[in-house]
Each structure stands twice: as structure tokens, then as C-alpha cells.
Amino acid sequence: MLRKRWQSWRVLPALFLCGCGGPMLDGDGALPTGESAQHALYAPHAPASGNVLDGTAYMGRVELGGAVQTRFTANPQYLSFGFSVRPGAQVRLEVTHLGSSPNLDTALFVYGPRHADGSYGGTVLAQDDDAGYGQLSQVDALALAQGGDYLAVVSSGTGAGKQFRLQLDCANGACAPVVDPALYRRCDLDVALPIKECVEGTVNEYGVSLADAYDSCTGPDDAHAFYREACNAGGNVPAWCEGGEAQFTLRMWPVCQDHFLHDYGL
């Protein structure tokens, strides 16, 4: 498959075994100089904005029934992950023994739901230190009366260089958010524009045909990448993102493919 030009223009959150990070507390993911490392086992200090997200490195979304894996790069550090549920959902979050480094000590916090302005506020809904395996963390059967987007924050005071795996499961069988099917009936601009940039950039850079460029930009791996790009911003994201990646792949992605097949006369 051709190397995709658009990927050099955008950097997606690194969810799998990545040492990269997003916005940090002081530029490297650590608390301001002078804070004790043990403070990483407590809730992040709410920044001046009042939005706890601004005091973490946002790593993207975790889907119900799925997991994400990454690593800490500083001591201490707060890494955050978004997830969406329907009203009345009960969820289980766990930093699992499988996929986490030995002797890792973590803490886990949940915030939300996200407000209309994109803020998750600064009130902790649930937190845990060592309820999981060893010194790992777990929040079991957390009841969320309101539907919407929530934020899970995993922290460690001494985890630099160590990896962890965060698992999200539904505890009552009714967690997936209900999304209006109409939202999937057109190719959203947050997906359509990157596809267009990828196709036309590939033609210009490599001199291939539109058909070849289209094929190189609209495969299964591209669907995954475009979903991550549109839905992992951390603040206000398109409403259809709440349905998760599987619904995007089944419903909107074929619409996007058909749109560009017609648009390019293929």
C-alpha cells in the first residue's frame, strides 16, 4: 500500500505501546517542579480552566468491551482516555495484570459526563488505588445515571518507562450509547476532508492515478485511522463518535467510500 501523505500532516494519539504523549501539565507530563511523586496516586489538580482534561495527556478513546495499551514517560504522569455510554450504564474499568509492566503502581479516576462546552469538570466520580492485581487499579460496576462522554485517568508516581493496559467492560449489558442512525447517512466533513487530502496528496506526490490513490487511502486500516483522527480530540467531537468505531466502520465508512467513488468518477 502506498505511503499516505496525509499521515505526515497529522499525528494521532498513540494508544498502543507508544512513548509519545499529548498536552502535558508542564510540557513533559509531570506535575510542576516541587510536587511529590506520591501525589500521582491522588486526583489530578484541576487546572485554571476547571477542566481536568487540561491537566492530563489525552491518549484517545477506549471502546466498550475493548482495551488500550500505552506507557508512562514521566514521574508522575496522568494519562486520560475518553469513553461513551448510554444513561444507566454500569461499567468496569481495570488496569489489567495482562499487558502491564511488573511492579507498576497506578491509580484510576473517572470524570464526567462531558459538558456542552467540552469540559469534563473537576469532580471525581470514582477513584481507586490498589483494588486490582497487586498495586494496579480497578473500578467495578460504576453506575452512570447520565449518558454521554466520560474521562478515565490513569496515573503513576513512579511508572516512567513502564506500560499498562486499560480495559473497559459493560457490567449490566446495556452500556452502548444510542446514536441517531441519521448521523451515519452522510460522510462527515471530519472524515471526508482527510480522505480528500490523502487521495489528492498521493496523486500529486507519487504521480499515480486517482483510482490507485483512492485504493491506497480507503482500506480497512484507513477507516481505523480516520476514525481515530476525528474522534480522539478530547474536547468536542462529532456526535456520531459516541457510537464507537465498529458502528462508524459498518455505517459511515461505506458511505464515504461510495461518495468518493462517485466524486472521482471511479
Q: What is the pLDDT of residue 41?
A: 64
Q: Quote the CA–CA distance of 135 and 102 in Å, as a whole number.
A: 10
Helix, strand, coil distribution of the chain in percent, nearest 5: 30, 25, 45
237: pLDDT strictly greater than 90 = no
252: pLDDT strictly greater than 70 = yes
Q: Quote the CA–CA distance of 243 and 32 in Å, as a whole number.
A: 37
| Domains of the chain, CATH where assigned | 37-170 (2.60.120.380), 180-263 (no CATH)
Average pLDDT, the chain: 85
Percentage with pLDDT > 90 across the chain: 72
Q: What confidence category does residue 137 fall into, taking pLDDT thresholds of 50, 70 and 90? A: very high
Q: What confidence category does residue 220 fall into, taking pLDDT thresholds of 50, 70 and 90? A: confident
263: pLDDT strictly greater than 50 = yes
141: which 3 cell numbers? 460496576
Q: Angle formed by the axes of helices 220-231 and 189-206, to 10°?
A: 130
**Cβ atoms of residues 194 and 256 within 8 Å:** no
Q: Give the least confident one: 8-22, 131-145, 201-215, 219-233.
A: 8-22
Helix (H, G, I), strand (E, B) or coil at 13: coil
140: pLDDT strictly greater than 60 = yes
Half-sphere exposure of 41 (CA within 13 A, CB side): 14
Percentage with pLDDT > 70 across the chain: 84
121: pLDDT strictly greater than 70 = yes
Q: Which pTM value belongs to this model?
A: 0.77
SS3 letters across 90-159: EEEEEECCCCCCCCCCCEEEEECCCCCCCCCCCCEEEEECCCCCCCCCEEEEEEECCCEEEEEEEEECCC
30: pLDDT strictly greater than 50 = no
Q: What confidence category does residue 42 fall into, taking pLDDT thresholds of 50, 70 and 90? A: low
Q: Quote the CA–CA distance of 241 and 239 in Å, as a whole number.
A: 5
Task: Say how many C-beta atoms besides its own lie within 10 A of residue 101's C-beta.
Answer: 14
Q: What confidence category does residue 4 fall into, taking pLDDT thresholds of 50, 70 and 90? A: very low
**169 or 7: which carries more pLDDT confidence?**
169
Q: What is the pLDDT of residue 59?
A: 94
Q: What are phi and psi of 17, to 5 degrees?
A: 50, 50
Q: Quote the CA–CA distance of 16 and 62 in Å, as a whole number.
A: 11
Q: What is the mean pLDDT of residues 116-122?
A: 91
**Cβ atoms of residues 57 and 98 within 8 Å:** no
**Cβ atoms of residues 85 and 245 within 8 Å:** no
Model pLDDT for residues 69-114, shown as the tens digit of each residue: 999 999 999 999 999 999 999 999 999 999 999 999 999 999 999 9
